[in-house]
Amino acid sequence: MKLLKALLFSLPFLFSTTFTYATVRVGTVFFFPPFVTSLNEGFDIELVRSICQRLNLSCELQPMDFNKLFPALDNGSIDLAIGGIVISQIRQQKYDFSLPYMLSKGQFLVTQNSNVQTVNDLKGQKVGVIKGEQDNGVFISYLNDNFPGQFSVSQFDDMEDLITALSANQISAAFTHESTALYWQENGGGQFKLLAGPVLLGQGIGIMALPKNAALLQQINQALQDLEKDGSYLNLYQTYFGNEK
């Protein structure tokens, strides 16, 4: 896939000596399709397991709310975090990231019977997002920067709460990953549809860690490149995203 090659080889790669872990604790989310559909399924779940197998690492998955991933890294409860995490300049001030393994794009989602036709129609209404770190995640920052004062932003702990609120008309739209919006459009029983087109956010999606685990991230980068070279990444990508670019 040309897209993945552009992402994986767009950043300098540093080789390091092998760094040994007894068990790598990987924080993830409970439910964030198609990245995480259960503790055993989802694109990110299968990707991190493939990486751990390539590196002969024993990895333990620890699910939690998305906004809990950041303090869990900070206090040492986990070594890595994965789950549709967008690489942003603000996050890079505190955390290190793997090479991006896919593009990060935001997308509005509304109910099928919504009268909203454009983003401007959301003026004065509520738009829901999943909570990021310290109430200042990538998605809410995009809305505040690009639509200041146009609508109120409601934050939810997880995707289940967000999609439930949208279905119950407690919010007029959800703003989430394009891949997640497409998932609900296709698997939401005909309840949802996309609003407007996708927008690029950040520098892609990656695996997050503290700077002290830079050596581990370098090994992960090598594994990502190996998965791309032998076609394993493309097979996994097409399983969850089809021909999505």
Do 137 and 149 lie in one domain? The reply is: yes
CB atoms within 10 A of CB 217: 23
225 and 187 in one domain?
no
Question: Alpha helices, DSSP H only, in 93-158?
Answer: 138-146
Range of the domain at 129: 105-200
Q: Say if residue 189 is in the same domain as residue 209.
A: no
Query: Do 99 and 150 lie in a common domain?
Result: no
3-class secondary structure for 28-67?
Answer: EECCECCCECCCCCCHHHHHHHHHHHHCCCCEEEEEECHH
Residues 195 and 233 both lie in one domain: no
What's the structural domain count of the chain? 2
Co-location of 128 and 71 in the same domain = no
Based on the fold, state whether residues 31 and 91 are members of the same structural domain: yes
Same domain, 50 and 171: no
Same domain for 6 and 58?
Answer: yes
Q: Which residues pair with 25 in a beta bridge?
A: 60
Tens of pLDDT, residue by residue, the chain (245 residues): 444 545 554 443 333 334 556 899 999 999 999 999 998 999 999 999 999 999 999 999 999 999 999 999 999 999 999 999 999 999 999 999 999 999 999 999 999 999 999 999 999 999 999 999 866 789 999 999 999 999 999 999 999 999 999 999 999 999 999 999 999 999 999 999 999 999 999 999 999 999 999 999 999 999 999 999 999 999 999 999 987 76
Largest CA distance in the chain: 57
CATH of the domain at 24: 3.40.190.10
Q: Are residues 173 and 160 in the same domain?
A: yes
Same domain, 92 and 126: no
Measure the CA–CA gap between 154 and 139, rounded to whole angstroms: 11
